[in-house]
Amino acid sequence: MPDGGGVSPVRRSSLRQQIADALRDEVLTGRLQAGRHFTVKEIAELYGVSATPVREALVDLAAQGLLEVEQHRGFQVRRFTAQDFHTLTEARLFVVEASFRRMAEVGMGDVPPDAIASVRRRAEAAARAARSGVLDILIGCDLRFWRELTALGGNPHICEFLDRMRTQTWIYAVPHLRALHDTAGVCWSDHVALVDAVAARDTATARQLTLEHSDHTGALIEKLVPARP
Q: What is the CATH number of the domain that holds 188?
A: 1.20.120.530
Q: What is the pLDDT of residues 111-126, one digit of tens each?
A: 889 999 999 999 999 9
Would you give the distance in Å from CA 54 to the centre of its chain? Answer: 22
Last residue of one domain, picked from the residues 58, 77, 96: 77
pTM (2 d.p.) = 0.86
Q: What is the pLDDT of residues 20-36, one digit of tens each?
A: 999 999 999 888 889 99
The helix/strand/coil state of 110 is coil
Same domain, 34 and 97: no
Same domain, 120 and 179: yes
pLDDT of residue 229: 43
Average pLDDT over residues 139-149: 96
Same domain, 99 and 70: no
Name the least confident of 26-35, 89-98, 158-167: 26-35
Domain count, the chain: 2
74 φ/ψ angles, rounded to the nearest 5 degrees: 120, -125
Sign (positive/negative) of CA torsion 221, 197, 157, 129?
A: positive
Last residue of one domain, picked from the residues 36, 62, 77: 77
Asked whether residue 155 is domain-assigned, the answer is yes
Q: Is the pLDDT confidence value at 13 over 50?
A: no
Q: What is the pLDDT of residues 166-199, one digit of tens each?
A: 999 999 999 999 999 999 999 999 999 999 999 9
Say if CB 78 and CB 66 are below 8 A apart.
yes
Stronger pLDDT, 70 or 8, i.e. the higher one: 70
The span from the CA of 217 to the CA of 221, in Å, is 6
Same domain, 130 and 211: yes
Same domain, 111 and 203: yes
Same domain, 114 and 150: yes
pLDDT band for position 5 (50/70/90)? very low
**Element holding 197 (H helix, E strand):** helix 191-199
Same domain, 141 and 179: yes
> Using CB atoms within 10 A of its CB, is residue 63 exposed (0-12), middle (13-18) or buried (19+)?
exposed
% of the chain beyond a pLDDT of 70: 93
Same domain, 64 and 11: yes
Instruction: Give residues with Cβ within 8 angstroms of 113, minimum separation 6.
Output: none
Same domain, 35 and 106: no
pLDDT of residue 73: 82
- The domain that contains 8 carries what CATH number? 1.10.10.10
